[in-house]
Amino acid sequence: MLPIPLTLPTPLALPTPRSRTKTVLRIVAHACAWAMAMAIAIAMAVAATQLPASPKSPAPPKPSAPPPPAGSEVVMMDAFEVSAAKHQWRYAQSPHFEILSSVNDVKLVTQIIRRAGQIIDTFQKGCALFRPKHNRPVRLIFINDGGIERFLTFTGKDALQTARDRPPVGVIESSRRKGHVRQISARGYHDDEQIILLKLIPQKYLDGATPFDERVRENALDLAINYLLVCADTHIRPGDAPWLASTLNSMRGHSAGGAPWRLPDNFESPAYGLAGDVFARPAWFTINDEHMSVGRYCLACETRTYRGAGDFPRGESEEAIVAQKKTWGEFLPSPRAGLRAALEQPVTLTHSKKNTTALVGHELCKQREALDFVYYCVFNADPKIRAAFAKFATNPGRQPPDEKLFERCFGADYETFHEKIYAFYRGLARNGGGGNSDYKNNPWGPPAITVAKYSNKDIPKPVLFRNAKRSETSLIVSDWFALCKAGELARQTLIKAGKESEQARTDPEIAAALALAEVSPDAKGDKLKALAMLEWVAAEGKTTRPRVYCTLSRMLLEEIFEMKGRDYRLAASDVRGVIGPLITALKLPGPPPRVYVQFASVWKHTDIKPPGEYLEIIVSGCRRFPGEMELLEEAIPLLAANGHQAAARQLEALRDDL
């Protein structure tokens, strides 16, 4: 039996004699494609220099193409040319982002990135959930009005504001003064390899009356929230932790300042012994160069929601006043919903006259307690609590989130941990941490807390923009299209870059991205060309994208089966050829689960026994991704059949939990 080395074999030396001719043809096809693109570009450039100038009869302008119909895969190249003319792309890098911007207000964009980075840093120090699961940098695209059609309309992503981007019920945004224009929330998408965010800043917003500092604050906060949400999405199964998104979006509530707020008429509550009936609203979120504070609750927001209930007593009669005082006395007197309700029963409250005060009060109580749970865990000084929170949110056993899982993560039941949370918040109020003596004896503690204090070294440095290279713009833009399931737009973007730019044409990352676009189910690509390019990129070894090597391995395996039939058992040379790219992918930083799945699945197509070190690689992948059912299904029978019964039994127990 031939040993299979861990070192990467040379891809072009791997094929069997029958496939060697095909490989040569693929390489020739690939070289010809790039040579033809170069020839076209050169010919166009030469022709442009030889055209005679004619001031009396200038060439008519090229008409712009209409946008494609909904659902069409036809790519209007004229539209690409028009879009390119509208954008002067600038490029920068920050600790969190690889940035592409066509917004002319460079100062605003720079300050948004700087402040967003400060917010992100604060959350990431407290919780691993807010760090990207991928090792590729998060891409960030700023566009102006000129990019709406290309980036949003053509990709079907023009529904800009969604429920995910709004504060929960019981949290009210700042009211808009005359001339102020609402900022547009960022869009964020991800797959198992990368995250891309897109932020539109329209000219109408830039021409509005919003002060510069407020523009920086609201756009930085929106960008940071969407970054944190999409990072969490890479770790958490959809639907497992709705309270996390609700907590982050509560920061979109109103800021401090504005007209003093007045307590509702006949408001009487043993919990809220306020010194007067007029006071300033606490901010839901505050950040500057000295500190960051978050709001936990706001009486102004919540009493407004509470009064909207259909059975709230109305009127000015003596009977109505007595009823109002009684009803206000029952308004959120203490944290009594409990963590079971807060974490297992998502808040579904909407503004409706059918709501009762009992329902509204209970839902607002759940919302407060879920928010308090998140902030207590994320910003806790104890790293064990922060780690337990991340484990609970990611739900490694994939069981429904319940008290059993909670006890496994935190080592305490709901009631015990609930008491611990509110002992902490009440302690803040008694020790002056709330900044307001009105809340000293409140069962909830202060309405806002400071979660971070900064020194000069904590403030991110401004990013430095430069003119973007064509390869940079093409890669980031094409990846946006790919994540939006607009594979043909991604493919045409890369082809156009290769035709028009020598720098893009010789970039291995462009070739890698184009090869992936050629095999995208959303594109009209050429698999032969894709395989040739993938082999070339793998041989060069100049890409760090695991997907490139996974795709190459899969295509090589498919080619063998096309030639020899689905029942063919892989020979040693076949196995070396198929797993070679996967071994390279496994050596890259943070390979995704798909690499391990493919690596394990190869062995069911051969009679060759996998070496022990290969089985250990598969086991390590299962431990790293304990919730990946597909990986477990591939790994367990392979391990059991090859002398690793103990590991197989452990993984079976994990699979049963799933």
Least confident of 290-304, 386-400, 559-573: 386-400
Separation of CA 103 from chain center: 22
Name the range with the highest mean pLDDT among 162-176, 264-278, 372-386. Answer: 372-386
pTM: 0.85
Question: For position 430, what pLDDT does the model report?
Answer: 79
The confidence band for 656, taking pLDDT boundaries of 50, 70 and 90, is: confident
Best mean pLDDT range from 12-21, 276-285, 463-472: 463-472
pLDDT in tens, 95-125: 999 999 999 999 999 999 999 999 999 999 9
- Give me the phi and psi of 277, to 5 degrees please: -105, 5
Rounded to whole angstroms, what are the CA distances from 289 to 206, 255, 326, 352, 452?
A: 24, 17, 44, 41, 10
Give the amino acid at 430.
R
Banded pLDDT at 276 (limits 50, 70, 90): low
Q: What is the pLDDT of residues 544-584, one digit of tens each?
A: 899 999 999 999 999 999 999 999 999 999 999 999 999 99
Percent of the chain with pLDDT over 90: 61
Contact 550, 581 (CB under 8 A): yes
User: What pLDDT shows up at residue 400?
Assistant: 72
Q: Which tokens go with 218?
A: 């609201």
pLDDT at 409 over 50: yes
Contact (CB, 8 A) for 551 and 515:
yes
Nearest to 651 by CA among 641, 613, 631, 497: 631
Distance from C-alpha of 100 to C-alpha of 521, rounded to nearest angstrom: 27
User: Is residue 130 within 8 Å of 225, Cβ to Cβ?
Assistant: no
SS3 for 39? helix
* pLDDT over 80 (residue 13): no
Q: Provide the phi-psi class of 54: left if phi over 0, else alpha when psi is between -120 and 50, else beta.
A: beta
**Is it the case that residue 467 has pLDDT exceeding 90?**
yes
Looking at residues 335-352, what average pLDDT do you find? 90
15 contacts 577 by C-beta, under 8 angstroms: yes
Q: How confident is the model at residue 316 (pLDDT cuts 50, 70, 90)?
A: very high
Question: What element of type H or E holds 188?
Answer: strand 187-190
The mean pLDDT value for 528-536 works out to 92
Indicate the residue type of 429. Answer: A
Average pLDDT over residues 319-332: 94
What is the average pLDDT across 496-515? 92
Name the amino acid, one letter, at 249: N
C-beta separation of 194 from 479 below 8 A: yes
The DSSP bridge pattern shows strands 448-453 and 291-295 to be: antiparallel
- pLDDT, mean over the chain: 84
150 within 8 A of 79, measured Cβ to Cβ: yes
- If one counts every other C-beta atom within 10 angstroms of the C-beta of residue 38, the result is 15
Ordered DSSP codes for 269-300: -SS---SSSEEPPPPSEEE-SSEEEEES--HH
Bridging pattern class, strands 195-200 and 97-101? unpaired
C-alpha to C-alpha distances, 184 to 117, 144, 164, 327, nearest whole angstrom: 19, 11, 13, 39
Helix residue spans in 379-486 (DSSP H): 383-394, 403-410, 414-430, 470-483
pLDDT at 255: 87
User: Which one, of 191, 227, 233, 252, lies nearest residue 393 by Cα?
Assistant: 233
Taking alpha carbons only, the member of 637, 540, 623, 528 closest to residue 584 is: 540
Residue 79 has pLDDT above 50, yes or no: no
Biggest alpha carbon distance in the chain?
98
CB atoms within 10 A of CB 271: 14
- Whether residue 79 contacts residue 64, with contact meaning beta carbons closer than 8 Å, is answered with yes
Q: How far apart are the C-alpha atoms of 283 and 180, rounded to whole Å?
A: 19
- Helices in 524-626 by DSSP H: which ranges? 527-540, 546-564, 572-587, 593-601, 612-624
Under 8 Å between Cβ of 245 and 164: yes
For 479, other C-beta atoms within 10 Å of its C-beta total 24
pLDDT for res 600 = 96
Q: Which two tokens stand for residue 297?
A: 């609750």
**pLDDT, tens digit, for every residue of 237-254?**
888 889 999 999 999 999
Q: How confident is the model at residue 426 (pLDDT cuts 50, 70, 90)?
A: very high
Query: How many residues in total does the chain contain?
Result: 658
